[in-house]
Amino acid sequence: MKKISVLGSTGSIGTQTLDVAAKHSEHFQIEGLAAGGNTDLLLEQVRRFKPRKVSVATRELAERIQSEVPAGTEVFYGDQGLIEIAAGTDADMVVTAVMGSLGLPSTLAAIEAGKTIGLANKETLVTAGHIVTALAREKGVKLLPIDSEHSAIFQCLNGENRKDLASITLTASGGSFRDRTREELKHVTVEDALKHPNWSMGAKITIDSATMVNKGLEVIEAHWLFDLPYEQINVLLHPESIIHSFVEFRDTSIIAQLGNPDMRVPIQYALTYPERWDSPAQRLSLAEAGKLQFREMDFERFPCLRLAYECGKMGGTATTAFNAANEVAVARFLRKEISFLQIEDIIERVLERHHNIPEPELAEIEDCDKRTREAAAKL
Ligand SMILES: NC(=O)C1=CN([C@@H]2O[C@H](COP(=O)(O)OP(=O)(O)OC[C@H]3O[C@@H](n4cnc5c(N)ncnc54)[C@H](OP(=O)(O)O)[C@@H]3O)[C@@H](O)[C@H]2O)C=CC1
Ligand SMILES: CC(=O)[C@@H](O)[C@H](O)COP(=O)(O)O
Ligand SMILES: [Mn+2]
């Protein structure tokens, strides 16, 4: 029996993690679940998986569900609640599937407690990659990627000699607006932006795909997960999302990982690693797929990807600021306060004013995150 806690259990990754756990219920026991405000779904999950501890975003919500959870389940709330689910249970593994840098303290707490991490929450690595990876090394904790591209690279590198690796390439679908001109982008709506062509995901990451911020975050995530310089990390537009990413070796061999776009595959691989088990996903038929297309990335069309590379190469708090500005800008776009193109405008303007701190301490990162959010909210 592997014991698992899920941070963000009511979201897109969280629910699919529980689907995978339910499919192999004789092998997985759910120890803890943390959600934000969707208490109806959380209560359903509690009845089904019988975790020992659960957490919700606020005290008020915790009080509201208290009488509805079984006697054996303790209820927590807020930032401390998230940390309790991450570090205060008997779980062997913690799946980090909350959205945004709010996942950083709980991820650090889980690593500190020696839990294997199934990492979906990429913003954690973008915000504080050097701190998260250093702590994981110190504690001997594995960071197993759940993000589809990183799972693909992880699988392609399995058993290979790292000194033979020439480069990695992350594929990008291009998101909801990949065939629109910049002129057309001036008038796109939230509803249009939320229609991802290949993946069904939470709102924030779907907008990130459309701005290409998602790929920028993933480049930085790859830098930390695979300990590679940015010069060895490429991005290639691949509209079908069938090749999830690939690696190239010094002898020019390329190894790729393919499959239908279904997050249950990388989630399950992280849960069962190093084993492979039967999956509920639909098998890929290349004959039916017929044709796979590829295009060079256009950094003029997708300036947020250029900004992400620049911040990544700069290091320090630059990526913290990039992430925080984006989180605020996307939330504002989703509330219809700003237009789609103003997301990148806000990120760019925040970064122009950013004073970079190289090798920041955790407190400096938290301070940068807070100040950047305040600035991005005012622009
Ligand atoms: N979706 C996908 O296919 C992929 C996602 N990822 C990454 O995984 C992470 C999660 O994405 P996704 O599942 O799409 O996001 P969702 O928006 O679908 O889910 C977010 C989860 O976080 C919970 N949450 C929000 N606020 C709080 C809080 N204050 N305390 C505790 N929990 C909270 C939400 O709870 P509630 O709904 O109850 O408010 C929900 O369970 C992101 O970092 C994303 O980039 C990476 C690759 C693919
Ligand atoms: C499923 C997943 O891993 C997402 O991060 C996905 O990659 C989004 O697709 P694009 O960012 O390529 O549009
Ligand atoms: Mn991805």
pLDDT bracket for residue 192 (50, 70, 90): very high
Cβ atoms of 84 and 55 closer than 8 Å: yes
Percent of the chain scoring above 70 in pLDDT: 100
- Using one digit for the tens of pLDDT, what is the confidence trace for 103-153? 999 999 999 999 999 999 999 999 999 999 999 999 999 999 999 999 999
Q: What pLDDT is attached to residue 254?
A: 98
Mean pLDDT of 348-356: 97
Q: What pLDDT is attached to residue 186?
A: 94
Give CA separation, 355 vs 69, 312, 321, 348, 360, in Å: 47, 15, 10, 14, 12
**Residue 147 marked in a binding site:** yes
CA-nearest residue for atom 2, ligand 2, is 148
Report the separation in Å between the CA atom of 274 and the middle of ligand 1, taken as the mean of its atom positions. 25
Closest ligand, as measured to the CA of 84: 1
- Using one digit for the tens of pLDDT, what is the confidence trace for 363-372? 999 999 999 9
- Map residue 158 onto helix, strand or coil: coil
Q: What pLDDT is attached to residue 292?
A: 98
pLDDT bracket for residue 191 (50, 70, 90): very high
Q: What pLDDT is attached to residue 80?
A: 98
Report the separation in Å between the CA atom of 272 and the middle of ligand 3, taken as the mean of its atom positions. 20
Helix then strand then coil, % of the chain, to nearest 5: 50, 15, 35
**Residue 374 marked in a binding site:** no
The answer, yes or no, to whether ipTM is higher than 0.95 is yes
Q: Is the pTM of this model over 0.90?
A: yes
If you search the block for the tokens 């996307």, which residue do you land on? 330
Q: What pLDDT is attached to residue 190?
A: 98
Q: What pLDDT is attached to residue 147?
A: 98
The answer, yes or no, to whether the previous bond of 274 is cis (omega within 30 of 0) is yes
Report the separation in Å between the CA atom of 160 and the middle of ligand 1, taken as the mean of its atom positions. 33
Report the separation in Å between the CA atom of 260 and the middle of ligand 2, taken as the mean of its atom positions. 13
- Strands 28-34 and 254-258, by their bridges, are unpaired
Whether the CB of 147 sits within 6 Å of ligand 2:
yes
Percent of the chain scoring above 90 in pLDDT: 100
Q: Please state which of the four CATH numbers 2.60.40.10, 3.40.50.720, 3.40.50.300, 3.40.50.1980 is assigned to the domain occupying 2-145.
A: 3.40.50.720
Q: What pLDDT is attached to residue 335?
A: 98
Whether the CB of 248 sits within 6 Å of ligand 1:
no
Whether the CB of 84 sits within 6 Å of ligand 2:
no
**Residue 63 marked in a binding site:** no
**Residue 218 marked in a binding site:** yes
Tell which one of 123, 146, 149 to mutate to probe ligand 2, the residue whose CB is within 8 A of the most ligand atoms: 149
Whether the CB of 53 sits within 6 Å of ligand 1:
no
- Using one digit for the tens of pLDDT, what is the confidence trace for 26-58? 999 999 999 999 999 999 999 999 999 999 999
- Using one digit for the tens of pLDDT, what is the confidence trace for 64-79? 999 999 999 999 999 9
Whether the CB of 215 sits within 6 Å of ligand 2:
yes
Closest ligand, as measured to the CA of 197: 2
Tokens of 347: 């990120």
Tell which one of 99, 205, 326 to mutate to probe ligand 2, the residue whose CB is within 8 A of the most ligand atoms: 205
- Using one digit for the tens of pLDDT, what is the confidence trace for 272-296? 999 999 999 999 999 999 999 999 9
Q: Name the residue ranges covered by the structural domains of the chain.
A: 2-145, 150-260+298-314
Q: What pLDDT is attached to residue 42?
A: 98
**Residue 11 marked in a binding site:** yes
Residues 6+ apart with CB under 8 A from 123: 99, 100, 101, 103, 104, 217, 323, 327
- Using one digit for the tens of pLDDT, what is the confidence trace for 321-333? 999 999 999 999 9
pLDDT bracket for residue 349 (50, 70, 90): very high
- Using one digit for the tens of pLDDT, what is the confidence trace for 7-18? 999 999 999 999
Whether the CB of 197 sits within 6 Å of ligand 2:
no
**Residue 189 marked in a binding site:** no
Closest ligand, as measured to the CA of 209: 2
Q: What pLDDT is attached to residue 52?
A: 98
Q: Cβ–Cβ contacts within 10 Å for residue 276, how many?
A: 11
Mean pLDDT of 248-269: 98
**Residue 153 marked in a binding site:** no
Whether the CB of 263 sits within 6 Å of ligand 2:
yes
Q: What CA–CA distance (Å, rounded) separates 165 from 53?
A: 43
Tell which one of 201, 244, 263 to mutate to probe ligand 1, the residue whose CB is within 8 A of the most ligand atoms: 201
Q: What pLDDT is attached to residue 130?
A: 98
Average pLDDT, the chain: 97
- Strands 2-7 and 28-34, by their bridges, are parallel
Whether the CB of 14 sits within 6 Å of ligand 1:
yes
